[in-house]
Amino acid sequence: MDREQFREAGYAAIDRVCDYFAELETQENVLPTVAPGEIGRLIPDAAPLDGEQWSDIAKDFDQIILPGITHWQHPGFLAFFPANTTYESILSDIYAGAVSNPGFSWICSPACTELEVVMMDWVAKLLGLDSSFHHASGIGGGIIMGSASEACLTVCIAARERALRLLPGTPADRLVIYGTTQTHSLGAKAALILGLSFRAIETIAEDKWALRGEELKRVLDEDKANGKVPFVLLATLGSTSTGAIDHLAEITAVAAEFPELFLHVDAAWAGVFLACPELRQECGLEAINKRSSAVTAAKGICASGEVHSFCTNLHKSGLVTFDASCLWIRDRKLLTEALDITPPFLRNKHSDEGTVVDFRNWQMPLGRRFRSLKLFFVLRSYGVSGFQKHLRRQINLAAYFEKLVLANPRFELFVPRRLALVVFRIKANTVELADRVNREFFVSVAERRDIFLTPTTVGGLYCTRVAIGTTLLTEAYLDKAWKIINELAEEARLGLPSE
Ligand SMILES: *Cc1c(COP(=O)(O)O)cnc(C)c1O
């Protein structure tokens, strides 16, 4: 393809993308109807020997790819979590593609590094994170990664390094990563990769499945008495199943008694809601920001009992197209001391002088995508007010759906609505019948193509999550989804032995 062909194909591609969004508004199905392997069989086994015409290639987006796409932007997409995309992000991916470079050191492209540094401070301010998390502090700062799981694994590496500096020679089998039964699988996965153990602390319904300080202290004391070294706690702000928010103020108070404990907050889904000041209390911002009195003594370096790092995904409800997982750390040296390897070919004057940030030393890979441009475009185009308006719209839609559930005596909320997540159950006369009807309901939901919901089990009980956040969602669409849910719930109920 030459430049003029690109020009023509590029204009056509933009037209196709615009038509796609228009189609989504009227298209019935959110899920594809293909069977496993069906799409793969439409694709040749190997690359063609000779190049093909662009017109033939472009056509296959419609003929091969789209039939196998689950439409995350469709209003009927209420599963997992939202994955917002925006025109501004799509455009930024085009520009980033043009200057394509792996930006691992400042010299690779000063603009890539410096834009990311400033963007991470923009987002930190947007969310109300304390200035100690900002690059401007000279001690803390943020970095954009591909996923919250990557961010979690990276901070676990930094936390292990920190623990081994505090307690040199600690055998690996004594180092433990802590989370709860509601922690995302990223905790167990980090432990698996690092060859360490993960302990999931039980949470209970009375606490809305959130971690409390008392139980945390009991578990940490118990494990320490058995020779274990609790070196990192993964607290959750907005758990995947129910949106549970761990009691961060209680947790930081307990953590202050355990100097080896690094505290990471996984706010992958819910963290962006901190952009709305009225939601900050619910999301525990004060505890995230609070500094310990030990800090002044240690010249600003993060102390035990403080949140060391915080991660949220702008690519969920934050209007930035996948991927943009933002990680902030209060002491950047915790990352660089664990991850800095500088062979001769990566040395340069500016890096050696320490006048620039080299993000390769903050992360696992060397190369990295130019993601900050997406943030720059989106945040300028929407402004803080537009960003907040988008989030408030999601909250209002979730509140609308919550009302529909509460108004129908055949349903109950499994937990109170959390931000834009509603989790419900179908009621029945006995626990056993409720279990059966909720399971049956789910089997029939899974057969639908026009609505996509995810089930979950919490404390052994089946429930259904309605994760609100696609930008095309409307109240009218929620009415439609609720009608389908009612019909399927009725069928599930009729299938039961007489109640
Ligand atoms: C979505 C989510 C994750 C996983 O995020 P990735 O970026 O896909 O790794 C982890 N934790 C929570 C609470 C989430 O909502």
Q: How many CB atoms within 10 Å of residue 33? A: 9
Token representation of residue 451? 């609505």
The tens digit of pLDDT for each residue in 2-37 reads 999 999 999 999 999 999 999 999 999 999 999 999
Token representation of residue 298? 């240690």
Tell whether ligand 1 has an atom less than 6 A from the beta carbon of residue 147: yes
Mean pLDDT of the chain: 95
Is the per-residue pLDDT at 419 higher than 70?
yes
Distances (CA, A) of 405 to 316, 401, 443, 453, 460: 24, 6, 20, 15, 22
Q: Whose CA is nearest to atom 4 of ligand 1?
A: 148
d(CA 268, ligand 1 centre) in Å: 5
Q: Would you state the pLDDT for residue 457?
A: 92
Mean pLDDT of the 450-477 span:
95
Q: pLDDT confidence of 269, banded at 50, 70, 90?
A: very high
Q: Pocket of ligand 1, candidates 312, 313, 325: which has the most ligand atoms within 8 Å of its Cβ, to mutate?
A: 313
* Structure-model confidence comparison of residues 300 and 313, the more confident one: 313
The tens digit of pLDDT for each residue in 376-393 reads 999 999 999 999 999 999
Q: pLDDT confidence of 299, banded at 50, 70, 90?
A: low
> What is the number of the ligand 1 atom nearest to the C-alpha of 152?
9
Q: pLDDT confidence of 118, banded at 50, 70, 90?
A: very high
* Angle made by CA atoms 465, 445, 449, in degrees to the nearest 5: 105
Which percentage of the chain shows pLDDT scores above 70?
Answer: 98
Mean pLDDT of the 222-229 span:
97
Tell whether ligand 1 has an atom less than 6 A from the beta carbon of residue 325: yes
The tens digit of pLDDT for each residue in 94-112 reads 999 999 999 999 999 999 9
First-residue to last-residue Cα distance in the chain: 67
Q: Whose CA is nearest to atom 15 of ligand 1?
A: 269
CB 366, CB 104: distance < 8 Å: yes
Q: How many CB atoms within 10 Å of residue 50? A: 4
Q: What is the dihedral of CA 266, 272, 274, 275, to 10 degrees?
A: 160
Is the per-residue pLDDT at 161 higher than 80?
yes
Tell whether ligand 1 has an atom less than 6 A from the beta carbon of residue 184: yes
Is the per-residue pLDDT at 298 higher than 80?
no
Is the per-residue pLDDT at 343 higher than 90?
no
Specify the 3-state DSSP secondary structure of 264. Answer: strand
Adjacent-strand bridge partners of 193:
none
Q: pLDDT confidence of 499, banded at 50, 70, 90?
A: very low
Q: Pocket of ligand 1, candidates 84, 143, 184: which has the most ligand atoms within 8 Å of its Cβ, to mutate?
A: 184
Is the per-residue pLDDT at 498 higher than 70?
no
Q: Would you state the pLDDT for residue 393?
A: 98
Cα separation, 90 vs 403, in Å, equals 35
Tell whether ligand 1 has an atom less than 6 A from the beta carbon of residue 357: no
d(CA 148, ligand 1 centre) in Å: 5
d(CA 349, ligand 1 centre) in Å: 38
Tell whether ligand 1 has an atom less than 6 A from the beta carbon of residue 313: yes
Q: Would you state the pLDDT for residue 345?
A: 80
> What is the number of the ligand 1 atom nearest to the C-alpha of 315?
7
Tell whether ligand 1 has an atom less than 6 A from the beta carbon of residue 268: yes
Which of 74-83, 103-112, 338-347, 466-475 has the weakest average pLDDT?
A: 338-347
- Residue written as token pair 């070919």: 345
Q: What is the chain's alpha carbon radius of gyration, rounded to the nearest angstrom?
A: 24
Is the per-residue pLDDT at 297 higher than 60?
no
d(CA 38, ligand 1 centre) in Å: 29
Q: Would you state the pLDDT for residue 349?
A: 82
